[in-house]
Copies of this chain bind each other. A is one copy, B any other.
Amino acid sequence: MKIRASAEDYLEAILVIGKGKNNVRAVDIVKHTGYARASISIALKQLKESGCIEVDNNHSITLTDKGAQVAKRTYRRHLLIGNFLIALGVDEKTAFADACKLEHVISESSFECLNSYYQQNFAPANEKNHPQAGGGINL
């Protein structure tokens, strides 16, 4: 199964939710994303089939290595693109709302250029120790 935009979103959500609590369940993703219960259920089924997550008897969801890789990549993009836009003067809410969409379509090489530019021109000295800044928004 190909990793699509929506799968990236769900995996990212699981990662972020997991930072705040140690037991991620489907409802948490429902609350976090605003999608219908059924939509999440179906998406999780696919993520399970594609080996991105595991679900135990208590419906507790964990990312596999494969899933975590995608989630982290997406989350990293989310943060960087969001912070980049903020550095350009975009308000935080809009910046992360846009990041949410941009993160799925920007190419690897463009992202790396964005990253380099950000590190050289915008990065606050302490940021690499606080990569979660602004990350709670709208993932």
Q: Which A positions have Cβ atoms within 8 angstroms of B?
A: 85, 88-91, 94-95, 97-98, 101-102, 105-107, 109-110, 113-114, 116-117
Q: Which residues of B contact A110 (CB under 8 A)?
A: 85, 88, 90, 94-95, 98
A109 touches B90 (CB 8 A): yes
The count of identical subunits is 2
Q: Given A102-B102, A102-B105, A105-B101, does the pair A114, B94 have CB atoms closer than 8 Å?
A: no
CB nearest to A100 among chain B residues:
B105
A98 touches B106 (CB 8 A): yes
Q: Which residues of B contact A91 (CB under 8 A)?
A: 109
Q: Which residues of B contact A117 (CB under 8 A)?
A: 88-89
Q: Which residues of B contact A90 (CB under 8 A)?
A: 109-110, 113
